[in-house]
């Protein structure tokens, strides 16, 4: 009996050692998410109350703070550009030939009528910088074992005071997410549909982003092409590129 108890204690201790902390899990999620640079071609399928429309774009991104996006289709959006440098965001519209700095209340506006806001685009992608984390359960999503983790904000100026994320135990990628206001009200949800591996990293290639306060079935994000760790010339990540 003593021997059996000893073996059970050893096995239990081993399980505790093998279980990473919430902070360790989130650090691995961040490490998988943020790359030195990437070039991607993607679609937003915006499913509104009156039907759906598709917006295509090409994005150049360097690190976690700088990116440049050019919209390719449909025709009325073609040539619209967006530049993010640190905590500043500009848009250029060819129809008005104007460059606008998006700031203040404008950050809450929808991007191209989608369920994403400019504020969403300005969030620091490194969760460990913004949130404290705690494991609150274990579940299965897409037939994958996941940790359910609650994230609570470290700062007052964060768009979402609390988040709940479900992290794939093997691939350290978020498969589902819920975003909450300070009041506790659910604001947005993110559901991953498909994941692929590129250069040793797991990347979501299809997901639905839903603003629960809006009508419609959300915005489906589809990644058509991605190249990681590409050299991005400085001129692309500059205000001059908006009018180029």
Residue 212 in tokens:
């629960």
State the pLDDT at residue 18: 72
For residue 51, is pLDDT > 80? yes
Contact 55, 72 (CB under 8 A): no
In tens, the pLDDT along 182-198 reads 999 999 999 999 999 99
81-90, 150-159, 202-211: which has the minimum mean pLDDT?
Answer: 150-159
CA dihedral 167, 159, 124, 18 (to 10 degrees): -30
What element of type H or E holds 118? helix 118-122
Average pLDDT (50-76) is 95
CA dihedral 16, 20, 22, 24 (to 10 degrees): 150
Average pLDDT (88-99) is 96
Instruction: Identify the structural domains of the chain with CATH numbers, from first to last.
Output: 21-242 (2.50.20.10)
Average pLDDT (90-102) is 96
* 53 contact partners, CB below 8 Å, separation of at least 6: 45, 46, 74, 113
State the pLDDT at residue 5: 58
State the pLDDT at residue 2: 56
Q: What value does the mean pLDDT of the chain take? A: 92
pLDDT band at 13 (very low <50, low <70, confident <90, very high): very low
Contact 55, 114 (CB under 8 A): yes
Give the other-Cβ count within 10 Å of 18's Cβ: 7
- Residue 27 φ/ψ, nearest 5 degrees: -60, -40
């Amino acid at each position: 009996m003593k021997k059996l108890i000893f073996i059970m204690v050893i096995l239990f201790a081993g399980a505790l050692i093998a279980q990473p902390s919430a902070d360790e899990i989130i650090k691995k999620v961040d490490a998988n998410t943020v790359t030195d640079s990437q070039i991607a071609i993607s679609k937003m399928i915006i499913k509104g109350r009156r039907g759906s429309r598709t917006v295509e774009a090409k994005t150049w991104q360097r690190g976690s703070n700088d990116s440049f996006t050019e919209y390719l289709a449909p025709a009325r959006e073609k040539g619209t550009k967006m530049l993010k440098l640190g905590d500043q965001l500009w848009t250029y519209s060819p129809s008005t030939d104007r460059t606008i700095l998006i700031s203040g209340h404008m950050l809450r506006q929808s991007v191209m009528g989608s369920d994403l806001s400019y504020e969403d685009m300005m969030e620091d992608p490194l969760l460990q910088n913004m949130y404290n984390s705690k494991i609150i359960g274990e579940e299965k999503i897409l037939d994958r074992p996941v940790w359910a983790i609650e994230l609570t904000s470290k700062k007052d100026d964060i768009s979402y005071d609390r988040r709940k994320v479900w992290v794939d135990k093997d691939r350290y990628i978020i498969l589902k997410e819920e975003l909450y206001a300070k009041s506790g009200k659910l604001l947005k949800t993110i559901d991953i549909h498909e994941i692929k591996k590129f250069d040793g990293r797991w990347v979501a290639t299809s997901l639905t982003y839903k603003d629960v306060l809006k009508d419609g079935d959300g915005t489906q994000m589809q990644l058509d092409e991605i190249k990681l760790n590409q050299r991005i010339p400085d001129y692309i990540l500059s205000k001059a590129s908006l009018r180029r």
